[in-house]
């Protein structure tokens, strides 16, 4: 999909972080954008910012854990513009706990947003893309889905599941003209992980860097995107998992909260995680 001007995109988790950066990047390409997010204030503010630049934008307050709400958002988008070209499942929630403190509810909460929230958007949009025999689905995963890091258990489970279905979808939908890209960003500089201390070798990424990588992937129809490039080192886990474990610990790649900083994420944070 080399020519993006005039296309229609829908982005979940679109009020901040990667979602907002991607909305601005799409706007510069004159893409019409539907923004989905729970927090109505930031959502409206971003929509006004983009509209002031002459961009067609449709803000839709949406809880992605509610399947009917997501379906309604997709229907509104198609009713408004008559088509849908790019679907970005980006909404996320970061649940960070050691294994000794895990509860089933932690995994249910993580999967509700990170996995089922993405699945709701994909399933709602897929009939539209199939009728058109054209489209691009972007699933925002995490480097945690390449190598599960300590303390990230519930988040890792959801992102591994998301990456897994991304590979299945890519193979099954290829002949219908629908591309699927799974994005594996490292930790992204968002309020959600503001209190997380990370090592020098793996600094927090600006959301704009991830957004640029996503646009490039859509144009080049890439199957996967890993950003930053140092994320490719995690493939070592396939060949020598114990060595990879040692390096994660030695380099402090799992991160740690700043002293006396409290939780690493707000209870109902959106659109942050390693994003």
Angle between helices 116-132 and 67-81 in degrees, nearest 10: 30
Question: Rounded CA gap, 119 and 131, in Å?
Answer: 19
Question: Rounded CA gap, 262 and 199, in Å?
Answer: 19
Residues 254, 152 contacting (CB under 8 angstroms): yes
Cα 224-228-231 angle, rounded to 5 deg: 70
Other beta carbons within 10 Å of 12: 30
Annotated catalytic residue, options 116, 155, 184, 246: 155
| Bridge partners, residue 15, by sequence | none
Examine the residue annotation and report whether 155 is marked as an active-site residue of this protein.
Answer: yes
What does the block give as tokens for 115? 């996995």
Chain CA centroid to CA 172, Å: 21
Residue 82's alpha-carbon distances to 34, 123, 129, in angstroms, are: 13, 18, 12
Contacts of 187 (CB under 8 A, 6+ apart): 193, 196, 198, 202, 204, 205, 255, 274
Could you list the active site residues? Answer: 155
């Amino acid at each position: 999909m080399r020519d993006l001007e005039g296309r229609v995109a829908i982005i979940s988790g679109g009020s901040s972080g990667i979602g907002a950066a991607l909305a601005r990047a799409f706007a510069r390409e004159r893409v019409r954008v539907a923004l989905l997010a729970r927090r109505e204030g930031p959502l409206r503010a971003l929509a006004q910012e983009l509209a002031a630049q002459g961009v067609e934008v449709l803000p839709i307050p949406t809880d992605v854990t509610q399947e009917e709400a997501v379906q309604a958002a997709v229907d509104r988008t198609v009713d408004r513009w008559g088509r849908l070209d790019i679907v970005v499942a980006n909404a996320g929630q970061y649940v960070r706990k050691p294994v000794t403190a895990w509860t089933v509810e932690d995994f249910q909460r993580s999967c509700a947003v990170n996995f089922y929230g993405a699945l709701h958007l994909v399933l709602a949009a897929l009939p539209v893309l199939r009728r058109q025999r054209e489209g691009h689905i972007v699933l925002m995963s995490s480097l945690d889905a390449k190598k599960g890091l300590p303390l990230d258990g519930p988040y890792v489970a959801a992102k591994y599941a998301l990456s897994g279905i991304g590979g299945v979808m890519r193979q099954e939908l290829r002949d219908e003209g629908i591309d699927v890209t799974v994005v594996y960003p490292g930790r992204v500089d968002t309020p959600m992980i503001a209190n997380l201390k990370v090592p020098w070798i793996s600094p927090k990424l600006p959301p704009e860097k991830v957004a640029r990588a996503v646009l490039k992937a859509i144009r080049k129809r890439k199957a996967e995107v890993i950003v930053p490039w140092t994320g490719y080192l995690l493939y070592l886990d396939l060949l020598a998992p114990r060595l990879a474990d040692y390096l994660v610990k030695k380099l402090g790649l799992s991160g740690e909260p700043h002293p006396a900083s409290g939780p690493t994420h707000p209870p109902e944070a959106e659109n942050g995680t390693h994003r």
